[in-house]
Structure 1
């Protein structure tokens, strides 16, 4: 039997299943439209991250294989994105230009059936979401190698927006040029964090080339596409976007490098079953103040997963503390802990309760 004869019945089986899948997808889309009609009656939000993450968790739990759980979740995320767009197409602001890791984070969270709005700075992302020009914004919060993004923390302190989700994204950085070589290169451009994340490789291989920090890695790729003397450090998606060639792939110092992003907007989520709450706190500058402030978390068995400090910029050596805890503000033990914590804090703000990243 020839290979074509062996493949023919298998391909016919795939075609039949594809027809069934298409029919089921449209059945799901029609139900999503009905959901949209019900939401419209009460002006309820189209995007509910807690609901979508429950669908993704369930898909992974029920998956019998051979597809791996992550791929199944990617498929379901795009299905939900397409169905959501039938209700209303969501606009999401992010640190641009196109090709940045922030743009990748948008698609990782919302799927591709959204309208991305590239912004020149993190400040502009916040402004777009605050003004309603965008429904949501996606901003970088911290990197596993280089720590927190200070500007994001400062803006979270000031804004009236809430965090409604998080994305943890692997960050693989490559050096790219128009030619695919370093011949004639006089400058390497990248975001300051990317330059720091790649300094070991850069120190060994590009000692005589100037390094220039720019607003984003996507902007670095754009600049390199316009000037053959500039090399960019960016993700390979940015390289493809701007037709650059890879000189050296994965030059980041930490092979497990990741960046965490936050979704900001006016949405306040309900519990999803596995949530996280972000807070900003401050205390009077006296002995034991921080310990006493955080004591209610231990008393009520609430786990703290992150603790960062930022100067209060008041000239008195006081600090704001950025804290992540497990659980949702509507969870009973979290609510009790936060009620007590408020009494010990000179400043208290909940930045948001949201589903923990998958």
Structure 2
């Protein structure tokens, strides 16, 4: 094909549209074939075990990695991931309707993270606190929970870490969400904005942009991104710092995008549940450790991983809340707890005198 010709003949717009329609029909046929196979998977699961596992994060991760490895062409890989996430989401919920609790309200970054992980076919329920997210999963009212755990610049969300101390839940997945702040409003122009609402962190993340473009406009803290967006929707002349999802869900105009002062920030969220994922081939393991306060003991603990060539991706200390100046250490390492090297390191750690170890879970490493 050269220019607007195919096989030496001119191509019209009608020809191109006919070609797209034919491909759309083929895609639809293939989706129905895939759905038929999914139905059979559900039948096999239903017949094979009383406690069938419907959501397998390691299987989903493998699908995305395989698609990315063979990807080529003009469609961005991020768009392909979103398409397949919705296909997988709809397929899973053909087998069984699955549910997710998340730190709400609707249109927060945690809500956006939950949609990124599970797609739009899962039933999602906003919760007022991180405690409530964990509780809904613990009592079995929902299948999974999503809670924030870390910001790449500001560090840990300590309440989520503390909740693991007494919870029987495990980490089933992680979600990485780029920090993208936008200015949203019912108005069409920056000059019409009289007040800006935003979460404390969002206002801090965008203060340089606000100083440069709207220096005299009042800034008001909101309890959440969603609350700020509601103010922008309901109050004349108001704008909000929020994500794109809030613009779509509340019918707000995008006055400015990427107004964050520092590029490259990410929020990390954890998926909590009850069923441990199997190895996916590229995993992380999270553990919680406490030990006696002796010189060099932390060095000894970390050395167990270094000796086996296991990379530690994160270490965070938190007060144990049992004794003054007593600490818990939260450690993330590369690899699955069933991998021989990781299993060996975890066993060596458990065998150290005075050590208490709790494996919080192994799950696919999220790089999408």
TM-score (norm 1): 0.90
- 1:250 offset after TM fit, Å? 2.4
- 1:271 offset after TM fit, Å? 0.2
| Correspondence for 2:312 | 304
CA distance in 2, matches of 1:195, 1:142: 18
Do the aligned partners of 1:294 and 1:341 also contact (CA within 8 Å) in 2? no
- 1:202 offset after TM fit, Å? 5.1
- 1:210 offset after TM fit, Å? 5.4
Q: CA, structure 1 residues 66+178, in 2 after alignment: closer, same or farther (shift >3 Å)?
A: closer
> Which one of the candidate residues 38, 43, 47 is aligned to 1:37?
43
Q: Secondary structure at the match of 2:28?
A: helix
| Correspondence for 1:317 | 325
Do the aligned partners of 2:285 and 2:361 also contact (CA within 8 Å) in 1? yes
CA distance in 2, matches of 1:255, 1:182: 25
Do the aligned partners of 1:175 and 1:249 also contact (CA within 8 Å) in 2? yes
Matched residue count: 356
Alignment of 1:143-292 (within 5 A): 143-179=151-187, 181=190, 185=194, 188-190=197-199, 192-201=200-209, 209=218, 211-214=220-223, 216-228=224-236, 231-246=239-254, 248-292=256-300
CA distance in 1, matches of 2:328, 2:216: 39
Note the alpha carbon deviations across 1:117-161, whole angstroms, 9 max, x for none. Answer: 111222221111112221111111111121111111111222111
- 1:196 offset after TM fit, Å? 3.7
- 1:199 offset after TM fit, Å? 4.2
CA distance in 2, matches of 1:237, 1:340: 46
TM-score (norm 2): 0.88
Do the aligned partners of 1:182 and 1:247 also contact (CA within 8 Å) in 2? no
> Which one of the candidate residues 4, 9, 14 is aligned to 2:20?
14
Q: CA, structure 1 residues 7+226, in 2 after alignment: closer, same or farther (shift >3 Å)?
A: closer
Q: Secondary structure at the match of 2:102?
A: strand
In structure 2, runs of 5+ residues without a counterpart are: none
Do the aligned partners of 2:196 and 2:241 also contact (CA within 8 Å) in 1? no
In structure 1, runs of 5+ residues without a counterpart are: none
CA distance in 1, matches of 2:237, 2:130: 28
